[in-house]
Copies of this chain bind each other. A is one copy, B any other.
Amino acid sequence: MAKTKAKVGVVGYGIIGKRVADAVAAQSDMKLVGVADIISDVRLRIAQERNYPIYCSVPDFEPGMREAGYEIVGYLEDMIKEIDIVVDCTPTGVPRQNLPLYRVGNVKVIVQGGEKHDLTNRSFSTFGNYARHLGVDMTRLVSCNTTALTRIVATVTQEYGVSDVFVALARRASDPSRTNRGPINAIAPVLGVSHHGPDLLTVMPQLKDKVYSLAIAGSWTLSHVHMLKVTLDTTPSKEEVVKLFKGTPRILIEPGKQGLYDSAQLVEYFRDLGRPRYDRPEVFIWQETLSMDGRSNLYLIYDVHMESIPIPENVDAIRAMLEMETDVMKCVEQTDKALNIYKKGAYSGSLYGGSVVKKESKALV
């Protein structure tokens, strides 16, 4: 393992992979060794412009990549020899095929939320189970929706205790640039329980039998939106819950009435802010929607920018697996600073994902 900087390789330079590459390159304790893919379109121009070494994942595609003008420094196998850990961001199903290569190369592995939990038998969420990932060899980042859900649920679980979680998700049809996908003017229900409830349990197994989720998908591309009902063990006031979230990293809570009425206006605000790719890796809670009823139920609606939400968690996972930082909150602070999503005053407490390690046996997950 690297003494100095962690050597990281990114496989799959798509929606998630290109962001993970930028995020890794921005960390002072990590080195982006390269990105590997088979594409030869304009996306690679960005990698080349940023001087990310480009590896070819499958030799058959090398001629096309070179013809398109991209310098190829080697094959995926070559990259694996140079790295401590690989973040595989390839399309669903491909990571399973790549695993043997990674094992041969003896590198640690992170796959993304499109994969099934049983591929790795372990799933990661900073807020849910960071402490349990110290030193482990392989994990799967939970999906963007579950990453966001875990941030919220772990936060209130730690503070108030939770006896029931029901989330109704409105999923975007596709990422903005995947323009071959519909529907154009329709809503499609997920026919059965959506995977999000079960997925939450992979990182917070303590909530077994307390979680359910329903989901629809429809004709928009900017973000997922969650409508959440959580039954708490105690009865904080609405103001206390707002304050809790205001003091938590990677969660923004602001009134919509100041010109952030919908997801497009959120995008506009982050465009104006100068955020790269208008990314908002923070969960955004519309403050007016948060309420407590008289029966310990907390309600709220929040926005999940699926393209960027799991990026900080990928960085955290690298640090946990390579044991670069054992204190979850210090890790989060370091990641957030490097990604310019630092939230003043939010890193003084503890996170559920850091404390559980003491309470429960490792065998559980």
Q: Which residues of A contact B (CB under 8 A)?
A: 18, 39, 41-43, 46, 68, 164, 166, 168, 170, 173-174, 176-193, 209, 212, 214-216, 218-223, 225, 227, 229, 255-265, 267-269, 271-274, 276-278, 286, 288-289, 291, 293-295, 297, 299, 301, 303
Query: Bound state CA distance, A255 and B250, in angstroms?
Result: 39
With both beta carbons as reference points, the residue of chain B lying nearest to A268 in the complex is identified as B177
Query: Bound state CA distance, A292 and B174, in angstroms?
Result: 30
Evaluate contact between B293 and A212: CB separation under 8 angstroms.
yes
- Cβ–Cβ < 8 Å partners of A220 in chain B: 184-187, 218-219
- Interface core residue of A43, A269, A301 (most chain B CB under 10 Å): A301
A191 touches which of B174, B209, B261 (Cβ 8 Å): B261
Evaluate contact between A68 and B258: CB separation under 8 angstroms.
yes
Evaluate contact between A267 and B181: CB separation under 8 angstroms.
no
19 contacts between A and B (CB under 8 A): A41-B258, A42-B269, A43-B272, A168-B227, A174-B184, A177-B264, A177-B268, A181-B182, A183-B184, A185-B222, A187-B303, A189-B225, A191-B256, A191-B288, A212-B297, A214-B229, A227-B227, A271-B276, A277-B278
Given contacts A183-B264, A189-B286, 17 further A-B contacts (CB under 8 A): A43-B259, A164-B295, A166-B229, A168-B168, A168-B214, A170-B218, A173-B184, A176-B267, A187-B303, A209-B294, A212-B293, A214-B229, A214-B301, A216-B225, A216-B227, A218-B219, A227-B227
- Cβ–Cβ < 8 Å partners of A299 in chain B: 193, 212, 214
- Cβ–Cβ < 8 Å partners of A179 in chain B: 182-184, 186, 188, 261-262, 264-265
Query: Bound state CA distance, A69 and B255, in angstroms?
Result: 14
Evaluate contact between B182 and A178: CB separation under 8 angstroms.
yes
Query: Bound state CA distance, A317 and B215, in angstroms?
Result: 34
Evaluate contact between A227 and B214: CB separation under 8 angstroms.
yes
Q: In the assembled complex, how far is the CB of residue A182 from the closest CB belonging to chain B, in whole angstroms?
A: 5
With both beta carbons as reference points, the residue of chain B lying nearest to A43 in the complex is identified as B259
Evaluate contact between B186 and A216: CB separation under 8 angstroms.
no
With both beta carbons as reference points, the residue of chain B lying nearest to A177 in the complex is identified as B268
Query: Bound state CA distance, A180 and B180, in angstroms?
Result: 8
With both beta carbons as reference points, the residue of chain B lying nearest to A191 in the complex is identified as B288
Name the 4 nearest CB pairs between A and B, nearest first: A41-B259, A168-B168, A188-B262, A186-B264
Evaluate contact between B276 and A184: CB separation under 8 angstroms.
no
With both beta carbons as reference points, the residue of chain B lying nearest to A185 in the complex is identified as B185
Evaluate contact between B278 and A185: CB separation under 8 angstroms.
no
- Cβ–Cβ < 8 Å partners of A289 in chain B: 189-192, 214
- Cβ–Cβ < 8 Å partners of A269 in chain B: 42-43
Q: In the assembled complex, how far is the CB of residue A168 from the closest CB belonging to chain B, in whole angstroms?
A: 3
With both beta carbons as reference points, the residue of chain B lying nearest to A266 in the complex is identified as B186
- Cβ–Cβ < 8 Å partners of A288 in chain B: 191-192
With both beta carbons as reference points, the residue of chain B lying nearest to A289 in the complex is identified as B189
Known: A174-B182, A216-B170, A278-B278. A188 touches B272 (CB 8 A): no
With both beta carbons as reference points, the residue of chain B lying nearest to A193 in the complex is identified as B291
- Cβ–Cβ < 8 Å partners of A185 in chain B: 176, 184-185, 219-222, 264
With both beta carbons as reference points, the residue of chain B lying nearest to A181 in the complex is identified as B182
